[in-house]
Amino acid sequence: MKVLVATQKPFSAAAVKGIKDILTGAGHQVEVLENYAAQADFVAAVADVDAIIIRSDKVTEEVINAAPKLKIVVRAGAGYDNVDLEAASAARIVVMNTPGQNANAVAELALGMMIYMARTQFTPSTGSELQGKTVGIQAFGNVGRLVGQKAAALGMKVKAIDPFLPVEKIVEGGAEPVINLDELYSKSNYVSIHIPATPQTVKSIGYDLITKMPKGGVLVNTARKEVIDEAGLAKALEDRADLKYATDVAPDNLAELKEKFGARVFATPKKMGAQTAEANMNAGLAAANQIVDFFATGNTRFQVNKF
């Protein structure tokens, strides 16, 4: 089978080698399309491929229509909002993710952002410490749980909420469950967002929630820009000069936010949560192994679509 690794933001060379070794070792052919300039380049590269490994690359209906032999897409990572699941299912293409494989990298970045904001973005201005503060974790999945554990190790109090988990699982994971988002935001000095972008969550975090945060609150988003109501965020920062926003997924209104609120808003230049040697290796190799297994045995364990 022919497998395309399509990564606009490339994996490390070592991870690419590992992916190639696994796939060619199982008798597959590998093509790599990295750093491509336009979506058209991706569309042009799929004409004869049976499988695709992606990161945040967009598998649109156009990509699917251009790939008549395609049988499986593996998103090397957690969030699959970049894949048109409906179009994939209609074409009977299996879509998988590699849950948990890059979670530690993202969790470390979330904690790093909290420290960066607490320590005034590493300027000499007097900052504050995380110890003794409360972090509220919005969604207690693979990343959220790790953020909680690391925050607890720094002496933070950890609260969490997850609509898909029974409270016992939150307690088992070392966090104190809260009953709703209002409670999470109103009791947390830091809120760390770990929800996926879905029709239910898009623009779900806005003025009302953000302004529930106590004085000096910092909102940290290593999830998706789409879950933030950007106008609501801007108004919250306007009305509450004590609030701050740090994100790994730059909002569309970043220029306006930076101009109005300066260092109270921080965004990484490009999403980097999963961009570590370890996470590249974990997610990339998992994706390759899942493809090998799918073609060898039909294993669809990590399939996220239904048809």
Residue nearest ligand 3PG, CB atom distance: 77
Stretch touching ligand 3PG by CB under 6 A, among 117-125, 151-159, 255-263, 266-274: 266-274
Among 6, 19, 274, 281, binds ligand 3PG (CB under 6 A): 274
Q: Which stretch binds ligand 3PG (CB under 6 A): 76-84, 167-175, 182-190, 203-211?
A: 76-84
Neighbouring residues of 17: CB distance < 8 A, sequence distance ≥ 6? none
- Cα gap 245→264, rounded to integer Å: 6
Going by C-alpha positions, the residue among 76, 73, 66 that lies closest to residue 94 is: 73
Dihedral sign, Cα of residue 79, residue 51, residue 69, residue 301: negative
Based on the shown chain and the rule CB under 6 A, indicate whether residue 194 belongs to the binding site for ligand 3PG. no
Given the rule CB under 6 A, which of 170-178, 235-243, 271-279, 284-292 is the region that contacts ligand 3PG? Answer: 271-279
181 contact partners, CB below 8 Å, separation of at least 6: 138, 161, 209
Which of 156, 217, 271, 302 binds ligand 3PG (CB under 6 A)? It is 271
List the x/- string, 81-120, binding to ligand 3PG by CB under 6 A.
---------------------x------------------
Q: Kindly tell me which of 188 and 222 has the beta carbon lying closer to ligand 3PG.
A: 222
Q: Is 77 in the site for ligand 3PG (CB under 6 A)?
A: yes
Question: For the stretch 219-242, what's the b/e string if a residue is b when 16 or more beta carbons lie within 10 angstroms of its beta carbon?
Answer: bbbbbbbbbbbbebbbebbeebee
Non-local CB neighbours of 198 within 8 Å, separated by 6+ positions: 81
Question: How many whole angstroms from its chain centre is CA 55?
Answer: 10
Residue 192 in contact with ligand 3PG, rule: CB under 6 A:
no
78 in contact with ligand 3PG (CB under 6 A): yes
Residue 35 dihedral angles phi and psi, to the nearest 5°: 55, 30
**Minimum Å distance from CB 71 to ligand 3PG?**
22
Q: How far is the CB of 33 from ligand 3PG (least distance, A)?
A: 15
What string marks each residue from 56 to 75 as x (binds ligand 3PG by CB under 6 A) or -?
Answer: x-------------------
Contact yes or no for 157/136 (Cβ under 8 A): no
Binding stretches for ligand 3PG (CB under 6 A): 9, 55-56, 77-79, 102, 271, 273-275
